[in-house]
Amino acid sequence: MVELPSDCGFGFGLFTDLYELTMAQAYIEDGMTGESVFSLYVRNLPEKRKYLLAAGLDSVLEYLQSLRFTEEDLEYLDTTGLFCPSFLDWLRSFEFAGDVYAVPEGTPIFAGEPILEVVAPLPQAQLIETFVLNQVHVQTLLASKASRIVTAAAGRKVVDFSSRRTHGTDAALKAARAFYLAGVSATSNVLAGKIYGIPISGTMAHSYIQAHDSEEAAFRAFTAIYPETVLLVDTYETIKGVSRVISLARELGEDFRVKAIRLDSGDISSLSMEARRMLDDAGLEGVEILASGGLDEDRIVELLSSGARLDGFGVGTRMGVSSDAPDLDIVFKLCQYDGMGKVKLSAGKPILPGRKQVFRGFREGRASGDIIARDSENLPGRPLLEPVMRKGVPLGPGAKSLDELREYASGELAALPDSVSSLSPEEHSYPVDVSQALLNFQEKVSLQVDS
Q: In this complex, which beta carbon is closest to a copy of itself, that of residue 109 or of residue 125?
A: 125
How far apart (Å, rounded) are the C-alpha atoms in residues 113 and 449?
Answer: 23
How far apart (Å, rounded) are the C-alpha atoms in residues 119 and 102?
Answer: 11
Minimum separation from the CB atom of position 354 to a copy of itself (A): 13
Minimum separation from the CB atom of position 363 to a copy of itself (A): 36
Residue 41 in contact with a copy of itself, rule: CB under 8 A: no
Residue 334 in contact with a copy of itself, rule: CB under 8 A: yes
Minimum separation from the CB atom of position 418 to a copy of itself (A): 30
How far apart (Å, rounded) are the C-alpha atoms in residues 4 and 8?
Answer: 6
Q: What Rg value do the Cα atoms of the chain yield, rounded?
A: 26
Q: What is the side-by-side strand order in the sheet with 312-315?
A: 186-187, 157-160, 312-315, 288-292, 260-263, 230-232
Residue 303 in contact with a copy of itself, rule: CB under 8 A: no
Q: Looking at 91-99, 171-179, 305-313, 397-405, which segment touches a copy of itself (CB under 8 A)? A: 171-179
Q: How far is CA 127 from the centre of its chain?
A: 23
User: What count of Cα atoms within 13 Å lies in the side-chain half-sphere of residue 442?
Assistant: 16
CB 330, CB 140: distance < 8 Å: yes
How many amino acids of this chain bind a copy of itself (CB under 8 A)? 115
- Residue 93: burial class (beta carbons within 10 Å; 0-12, 13-18, 19+): exposed
Residue 438 in contact with a copy of itself, rule: CB under 8 A: no
How far apart (Å, rounded) are the C-alpha atoms in residues 133 and 212?
Answer: 47
Q: In this complex, which beta carbon is closest to a copy of itself, that of residue 144 or of residue 163?
A: 163
- Which one of residues 35, 170, 375, 386 is an interface residue with a copy of itself (CB under 8 A)? 170
* Whole-Å CA distances, 334 to 55, 115, 125, 134, 338: 21, 14, 9, 17, 11
Residue 67 in contact with a copy of itself, rule: CB under 8 A: no
Which residues between 218 and 257 bind a copy of itself (CB under 8 A)?
A: 221-222, 225-226, 229, 234-237, 240
Q: In this complex, which beta carbon is closest to a copy of itself, that of residue 309 or of residue 342?
A: 342
- Which one of residues 110, 131, 180, 441 is an interface residue with a copy of itself (CB under 8 A)? 131
Which residues between 366 and 405 bind a copy of itself (CB under 8 A)?
A: none
How far apart (Å, rounded) are the C-alpha atoms in residues 290 and 281?
Answer: 18
Which residues between 312 and 331 bind a copy of itself (CB under 8 A)?
A: 317-318, 320-323, 326-328, 330
How far apart (Å, rounded) are the C-alpha atoms in residues 415 and 369?
Answer: 11
Minimum separation from the CB atom of position 311 to a copy of itself (A): 18
Site string for a copy of itself, 196-215 (x = CB under 8 A): ----xxxxxxxxx-xxxxxx
Residue 189 in contact with a copy of itself, rule: CB under 8 A: yes
Q: In this complex, which beta carbon is closest to a copy of itself, that of residue 119 or of residue 367?
A: 119
DSSP assignment letter at 401: P
- Which one of residues 2, 44, 78, 80 is an interface residue with a copy of itself (CB under 8 A)? 80
Q: In this complex, which beta carbon is closest to a copy of itself, that of residue 96 or of residue 359?
A: 96
Minimum separation from the CB atom of position 252 to a copy of itself (A): 17
Minimum separation from the CB atom of position 68 to a copy of itself (A): 13
How far apart (Å, rounded) are the C-alpha atoms in residues 186 and 173?
Answer: 12
Bridge partners of residue 383, in order along the sequence: 359
Q: Looking at 98-106, 158-166, 281-289, 372-380, which segment touches a copy of itself (CB under 8 A)? A: 158-166
Phi/psi for 332 (5° steps) reads -130, 105
Q: Which of 174, 258, 168 is nearest to 219 (CA)?
A: 258
Q: Looking at 188-196, 360-368, 371-379, 401-409, which segment touches a copy of itself (CB under 8 A)? A: 188-196
| β-pair type (340-341, 382-383) | unpaired
Q: Where are the beta strands (DSSP E) in 43-166?
A: 52-53, 99-102, 108-109, 116-121, 157-160
Residue 350 in contact with a copy of itself, rule: CB under 8 A: no
